[in-house]
Amino acid sequence: QQQVKQSPQSLIVQKGGISIINCAYENTAFDYFPWYQQFPGKGPALLIAIRPDVSEKKEGRFTISFNKSAKQFSLHIMDSQPGDSATYFCAATTFNSGYSTLTFGKGTMLLVSP
Amino acid sequence: DVKVTQSSRYLVKRTGEKVFLECVQDMDHENMFWYRQDPGLGLRLIYFSYDVKMKEKGDIPEGYSVSREKKERFSLILESASTNQTSMYLCASSLFGGSKDEQFFGPGTRLTVL
């Protein structure tokens, strides 16, 4: 049972364009929503995260939009650059019995063409 | 900087072999995790540990076991490797295990089982 659905699976964007990756979740117990970025040959690294009581969070060119009623959230990359080419994973955190675990989406491979 | 290291970047084993994947973190983190990453399936949690000698099953524990004898070291064990365990294995650690705790990933071990 996939608890975090991510789309698209892959995305090609021209340099300077906007990249948009969408995620949806079902479990209302999720209480934190991070995005991880993974470059080839590296492990994922935290990019940006949002709490469910906030509708938007912006860090530089990266913005998360969060719609709690629709149980959806998305990552927007403004002015996309070739260096942003990576795989992006949305995730959701469940806190239970004193520890938290992450449930990841299946990932989006982003290619920003020069 | 937090550093998570994994003992091997690439590993080739034969069906039926016992395989040990080692992970070490140097920041005194309480929690450690093992994931496998497969194309189109994202990251799936195999096991995690929130304290020395403690372990919890993740989403796909079948065919795996873990050991955590020291706080900084978390081992993933494939008792009898099978071809369907060919995958990228990622280790991660986090400080306390709260919902907002960032997980820090190692570079991964690409395991091929022949």
Interval A62-82: pLDDT, tens: 999 999 999 999 999 999 999
Contact assessment for residue B38 and residue B108, using Cβ atoms and an 8 Å cutoff: no
Sole residue written with tokens 């063409």 = A113
| pLDDT single digits (tens) B61-94 | 999 999 999 999 999 999 999 999 999 999 999 9
Residue B7 or B97, more confident: B7
Quote the pLDDT of residue B36: 97
pLDDT above 80: residue A55: yes
Instruction: Provide the 10 A C-beta neighbour count for residue B26.
Output: 12
Residue A28 or A36, more confident: A36
User: Best of A101, A103, A108, A109 to disrupt the B interface by mutation (most B CBs within 10 Å)?
Assistant: A101
State which residue of chain B sits closest to A9, comparing Cα positions. B40
- A98 to B50: CB separation less than 8 angstroms, yes or no: yes
Residue type, B70: K
- A101 to B106: CB separation less than 8 angstroms, yes or no: no
Complete DSSP assignment for chain A:
--SEEEE-SEEEEETTS-EEEEEEE--TT--BEEEEEE-TTS--EEEEEE-TT-SEEEETTEEEEEETTTTEEEEEESS--GGG-EEEEEEEEEEETTEEEEEE---EEEEEE-
Q: Output the CA torsion B84→A85→A46→A74 (10° steps).
A: -100
What is the pLDDT confidence band of residue A2, given thresholds at 50, 70 and 90?
low
What is the pLDDT confidence band of residue A54, given thresholds at 50, 70 and 90?
very high
pLDDT above 70: residue A1: no
Touching check for A102 and chain B: CB below 8 Å? yes
Interface of B with A (CB under 8 A): 4, 31, 33, 40-45, 48, 50, 56, 58, 90, 92, 94, 97-108
Chain B residues touching residue A46 (CB < 8 angstroms) = 102-103
pLDDT above 60: residue A26: yes
Quote the pLDDT of residue B26: 94
pLDDT above 70: residue B13: yes
Out of A7-11, B8-12, B53-57, B85-89, least confident range: B53-57
State which residue of chain A sits closest to B30, comparing Cα positions. A99
Average pLDDT, chain A: 94
Quote the pLDDT of residue A4: 95
- B102 to A46: CB separation less than 8 angstroms, yes or no: yes
Quote the pLDDT of residue A94: 84
- A46 to B48: CB separation less than 8 angstroms, yes or no: no
The residues with which A56 forms a beta bridge, in sequence order, are: A65
What is the pLDDT confidence band of residue B38, given thresholds at 50, 70 and 90?
very high
What is the pLDDT confidence band of residue B10, given thresholds at 50, 70 and 90?
very high
User: Best of A36, A37, A57, A99 to disrupt the B interface by mutation (most B CBs within 10 Å)?
Assistant: A99
